[in-house]
């Protein structure tokens, strides 16, 4: 089982909200990130503020996710730092759980 943890941090207060979503396979994780999550995240991307280029959908492909996770139990899939907010406003963490 794979669990995606989404952390949203408010720039004004730094308060955070956390939600999770479970998946049976990395393919399903990838499908969700590419087909549902991605389009809502990058409407107003500012490279200078976010200190990196905007990710492309292919960055969340199953093979790339598998490679990034490797043999680890947990990995951050997304979490760029915002200079304007002085924090990481949106973070996505993937956790692999043994059955």
Domain boundaries, the chain: 2-96
Helix (H, G, I), strand (E, B) or coil at 94: strand
Q: What is the pLDDT of residue 85?
A: 83
As a whole number of angstroms, the distance between CA 89 and CA 82 comes to 7
CATH of 2-96, one of 1.10.1740, 1.10.405, 3.10.20, 3.40.630: 3.10.20
As a whole number of angstroms, the distance between CA 50 and CA 47 comes to 5
Q: What is the pLDDT of residue 56?
A: 93
Q: What is the pLDDT of residue 87?
A: 87
Q: What is the pLDDT of residue 99?
A: 54
- pLDDT by residue (tens digit) across 36-80? 999 888 778 888 898 889 999 999 999 999 999 999 999 999 999
pTM of the model: 0.89
The residue count for the chain: 99
- pLDDT by residue (tens digit) across 6-47? 999 988 887 899 999 999 999 999 999 999 999 888 778 888
DSSP helix, strand, coil percent of the chain (3-state; round to 5):
30, 30, 35
Helix (H, G, I), strand (E, B) or coil at 66: helix
């Amino acid at each position: 089982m794979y669990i995606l943890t989404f952390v949203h941090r408010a720039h004004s207060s730094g308060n955070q909200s956390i939600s999770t979503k479970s998946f049976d396979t990395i393919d399903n994780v990838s499908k969700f990130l590419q087909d549902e999550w991605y389009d809502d995240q990058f409407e107003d991307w500012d490279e200078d503020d976010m200190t990196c280029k905007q990710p492309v959908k292919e960055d969340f492909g199953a093979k790339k996710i598998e490679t990034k996770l490797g043999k680890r139990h947990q990995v951050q899939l997304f979490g760029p730092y915002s200079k304007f907010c002085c924090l990481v406003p949106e973070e996505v963490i993937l956790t692999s759980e043994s059955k």
